[in-house]
């Protein structure tokens, strides 16, 4: 599938947007870079059949901005970026697509690194890496980022359960998972091992059947999973998931999942809090994937044990955000956003310049302790 339009127009304004076009001028993908002054951008390559170019641009911008916030709170020396490929991942992948995208990423000369995301796989990253050096999440590196993302979500859930229920773990709690893809499935496995009871839903029945058979989960209709009675609701598909109309229908105590951009707007966080539902911002809890992917850039390359140790920052961030929110009567989203703004300001002050391939951002140049 290709988006209608010449691939330029709106792409020339409103931020650092880079079109990927085929020889006929049709747009195949859009690359968004959110805040290059903070360091080289990182962000996954997502593939979906967007209805039009405007929808692809809007999602690329939103996801790139969320990625900047995510890497700041994860303590990573990067800024946010995102690639959205316009097409059906089941039928529209081709050597020509990976060549065009790889060439576009290579031309950014290190200002942007990509990796797998919804609709793409480590095998796709292997193909993309034939045409660009700036590809993470390959089979020989971090590989499938879903398990590490799920591990970070699990750590965040333990903190939220301690805060909301006074529980030392997740044993006996009911967790409703929306989406059993790259993150939802390994999250279900970890939750089962932790003693949680699972309600699961996915648009692909085969995924549900496998989790029900292997883990003893209970299947729920995808149309009603968000209204299921559960202790924790874990959106792990696509956002936005919640708006002010859907909040009154929820029957959970905690919303905490891996899906990006879960709220239609910040006012939804106020609505959740007014109902006594604890919402933990997605960009805090789902950082495990980018923590894992960027570990490929470490001296000596990727090391799984080192990545698992780094995931502890998710636990620490969630604990701090929930404590501050409770102390000041604010939503966790407001506290997390404010913390990200402080980190952003400190990062800019530490670098004092725009990032460039010739003078890349170095973490040791930051202030000793940002926040």
Q: How many CB atoms lie within 10 A of CB 133?
A: 11
Our answer to whether residue 82 is catalytic in this structure is yes
* Distance (Å, whole) CA 44 – CA 84: 8
Name the CA radius of gyration of the chain, rounded: 20
User: How many CB atoms within 10 Å of residue 269?
Assistant: 24
Which residue shows structure tokens 């995102």?
82
Of these residues, 4, 70, 82, 369, which one is catalytic? 82
Active site residues: 82
């Amino acid at each position: 599938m290709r988006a209608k339009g010449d691939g330029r127009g709106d792409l020339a304004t409103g931020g650092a947007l880079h079109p990927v076009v085929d020889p006929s001028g049709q747009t195949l993908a859009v690359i968004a870079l959110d805040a290059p002054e903070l360091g080289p951008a990182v962000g996954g390559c997502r593939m979906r059949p967007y209805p039009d170019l405007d929808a692809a641009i809007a999602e690329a911008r939103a996801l790139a901005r969320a990625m900047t916030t995510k890497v700041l709170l994860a303590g990573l020396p990067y800024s946010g970026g995102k690639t959205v490929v316009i097409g059906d991942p089941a039928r529209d992948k081709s050597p020509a697509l990976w060549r065009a995208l790889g060439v576009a990423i290579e031309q950014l000369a290190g200002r942007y690194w990509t990796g797998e995301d919804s609709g793409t796989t480590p095998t796709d990253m292997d193909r993309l890496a034939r045409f660009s050096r700036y590809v993470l999440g390959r089979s020989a590196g971090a590989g499938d980022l879903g398990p590490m993302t799920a591990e970070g979500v699990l750590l965040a859930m333990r903190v939220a359960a301690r805060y909301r229920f006074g529980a030392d773990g997740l044993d006996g709690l009911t967790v409703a998972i929306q989406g059993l893809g790259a993150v939802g499935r390994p999250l279900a496995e970890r939750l089962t091992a932790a003693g949680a009871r699972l309600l699961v839903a996915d648009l692909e029945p085969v995924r549900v059947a496998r989790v029900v058979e292997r883990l003893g989960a209970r299947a729920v209709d995808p149309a009603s999973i968000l209204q299921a009675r559960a202790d924790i609701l874990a959106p792990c598909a696509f956002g936005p998931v919640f708006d002010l109309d859907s909040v009154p229908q929820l029957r959970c105590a905690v919303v905490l999942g891996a899906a990006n951009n879960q709220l239609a707007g910040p006012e939804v966080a106020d609505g959740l809090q007014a109902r006594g539902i604890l919402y933990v911002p997605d960009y805090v809890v789902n950082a495990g994937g980018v923590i894992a992917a960027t570990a490929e850039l470490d001296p000596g390359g990727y090391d799984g044990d080192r990545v698992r140790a780094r995931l502890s920052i998710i636990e620490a961030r969630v604990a701090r955000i929930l404590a501050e929110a409770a102390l000041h009567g604010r939503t966790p989203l407001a506290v997390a956003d404010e913390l990200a703004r402080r980190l952003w300001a400190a990062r800019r002050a530490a670098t004092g310049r725009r990032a460039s391939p010739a003078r890349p951002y170095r973490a040791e140049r930051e202030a000793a302790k940002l926040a």
